[in-house]
Structure 1
């Protein structure tokens, strides 16, 4: 059977979205499943801040407004899901359930956090929505067997250095005493064991190589855990959507991280049908990888930032993005992509939390520029799928 899947970027919101001329957005979200990344924690009297930086706390009414607009599912594995710790996760799940929204990517233990949301597609078929965070984040935010948190798929970077530079680094560590200090901590289990190759320094893993380079891979245990869960979903005949939240950005935020396509290809080989990326607050290009739609960054859908002026002063384009609707055929192939360039929902007022108008369609040169950015990495076959 064929079906439609609507996707948007992150809904970073505090209060409810306020209706305005949003008929085009509502029409796009009229799909069998409509999904966004909730980058917030619902406020809870029992919770307390887990960070000293920005908190994004949403009201239950904010989630109600997402449901009223047409969303049916939320991804919740990101850097703001744990803003109030476990009580915030409980409050967010309760508010999502009350609003009629499924939620994936967080839970009271790792089994709950990694478990996909299952949404009906008709004729007995279901979609499995997984949500995972790629880091970097403190370990405390990630769920474990006896700890609430979010689902991890942590990316690890190994830095290659030519032999002479690696030797110089070893000498620096020896002069500082860092090598002996680390060995003493490792001996009693206070720090992780020594790397199998290379050396650890300043929180990084260095290896020998012909030139300076960064080598990325998903943490093996995290990847194996996800692959096992996806295999079970595939065995059950589910259509698999992966939501990946990432803060390992390029210096130019609008560019897809260099390592992301290789990770996407691994995940597609493990069973993913669609990959939705969020994290950087700007739109990044779409790709087709092995015939599967991959969105490394759909930017924002709602962005209740308290730093509007800083983004404007630095010319960071956080206020324009797209929402998409995929047409999937009976063989799980994407046959068309409806693309709606949008003006992102802004805060009602600087520093306020009363909500914001819903996003509205872009037009003219704004729409053309955003469409060009969205499609710049697509080949002719990929561009042929677009219905702007």
Structure 2
């Protein structure tokens, strides 16, 4: 058996029209590289306007595409797509259903989007050139709760949507500032009911009462420094790590993927929390970690002999 397997990864693909007729020699060279790989992977940064229709949920950053763009991605060499990103819900659940329908019709290996939470939480697995390949794709937002997939319960139907890694952005302040903010909250009479109202349509954040204060959608955290931090939801993290571990036990080559917009002020700077997530994915059994979101190239790291691509920037970006 040949143990060599070539995998090509690119920046994200926010594609809104067919690009197959571009004659530029450099573009032809890129296509050749993608087609020569055993598997080529990108993030499809968008939603498909298909037979399920849709309800546009955004303003100027809204986007949807004709199914022909998937034909273009396939023709230039891509066989695997992440569908977890901030544009995957631009047409609501109808767009999710159309995107899944059109992607599945074309036979892409895909992950990150599903008809309910149970479906979206599983690794997607395919056999490619006699090698089992698995993909687990997460989105860290920020985004409203309603864009993320949910299972049905006795009070509501299932919700098609994105596979979530819930991240809460925290504004870190020192003890003096923290006590001043808490005093302002108390003096103006800002209560838990106000916080719940201001959090609509989402649920209010869960807080550590000794170290965190929330006003409107801002959460302030007591710290020894000023800065921005991110809290990772351990329930979501454990769920995704379990999917990675299960696929790895099944002897698959696992690609762990994360899309997020929790960037540092300097986009080229790598946030510490991303490194932690990446290494936990590899510790769970991922063969590589790939991330998009910040529209720039960030560092590559080799951890335990496996690559971490912290941000591959943009590949196709139609804006």
Judge same fold: TM > 0.5, yes or no: yes
How many residues align? The count is 302
CA distance in 1, matches of 2:204, 2:296: 37
Q: Which residue of 1 aligns with 2:271?
A: 257
Spell out the pairing of 1:100-115 with structure 2 (5 A cutoff). Answer: 100-115=107-122
Matched, 1:199 2:204: no
> Which structure has greater strand proportion?
1
With over 3 angstroms needed to count, the CA separation of the structure-2 counterparts of 1:55 and 1:210, relative to structure 1, is closer
With over 3 angstroms needed to count, the CA separation of the structure-2 counterparts of 1:288 and 1:86, relative to structure 1, is same
Q: 1:194: Cα distance to partner?
A: 4.7
Helix, strand or coil for the counterpart of 2:11?
Answer: strand
Q: Which residue of 2 aligns with 1:332?
A: none
Helix, strand or coil for the counterpart of 1:58?
Answer: coil
Q: 1:216: Cα distance to partner?
A: 2.8
The CA deviation string for residues 73-111 of structure 1, in whole angstroms up to 9 with x for no partner, is: 110000111111111111112222233322210011012
Q: Which residue of 2 aligns with 1:54?
A: 61
Helix, strand or coil for the counterpart of 1:147?
Answer: coil
Q: Which residue of 2 aligns with 1:35?
A: 41
Q: Determine if contact 1:120/1:126 at 8 Å carries over to the other structure.
A: yes
Q: Determine if contact 1:161/1:209 at 8 Å carries over to the other structure.
A: yes
Q: TM-score, normalised by structure 2?
A: 0.87
CA distance in 1, matches of 2:74, 2:30: 13
CA distance in 1, matches of 2:213, 2:224: 19
Q: Which residue of 1 aligns with 2:311?
A: 297
Spell out the pairing of 1:347-386 with structure 2 (5 A cutoff). Answer: none
Q: 1:210: Cα distance to partner?
A: 2.7
Deviates more, 1:199-208 or 1:21-30: 199-208
Structure 1 residue aligned with 2:163, among 143, 151, 155? 151
CA distance in 2, matches of 1:243, 1:264: 9
Q: Which residue of 2 aligns with 1:356?
A: none
With over 3 angstroms needed to count, the CA separation of the structure-2 counterparts of 1:103 and 1:180, relative to structure 1, is closer
Matched, 1:272 2:272: no
With over 3 angstroms needed to count, the CA separation of the structure-2 counterparts of 1:70 and 1:193, relative to structure 1, is closer
With over 3 angstroms needed to count, the CA separation of the structure-2 counterparts of 1:149 and 1:56, relative to structure 1, is same
With over 3 angstroms needed to count, the CA separation of the structure-2 counterparts of 1:196 and 1:238, relative to structure 1, is farther
With over 3 angstroms needed to count, the CA separation of the structure-2 counterparts of 1:207 and 1:11, relative to structure 1, is closer
Q: Which residue of 1 aligns with 2:188?
A: 176
Spell out the pairing of 1:204-219 with structure 2 (5 A cutoff). Answer: 204-219=218-233
Structure 1 residue aligned with 2:92, among 76, 85, 88? 85
Helix, strand or coil for the counterpart of 1:178?
Answer: coil
Gaps of 5+ in 1: 306-388
With over 3 angstroms needed to count, the CA separation of the structure-2 counterparts of 1:130 and 1:182, relative to structure 1, is same
Q: TM-score, normalised by structure 1?
A: 0.72
Q: Which residue of 2 aligns with 1:5?
A: 7
Q: Which residue of 1 aligns with 2:123?
A: 116
CA distance in 1, matches of 2:68, 2:263: 32
Q: 1:181: Cα distance to partner?
A: 4.3
Q: 1:132: Cα distance to partner?
A: 0.8
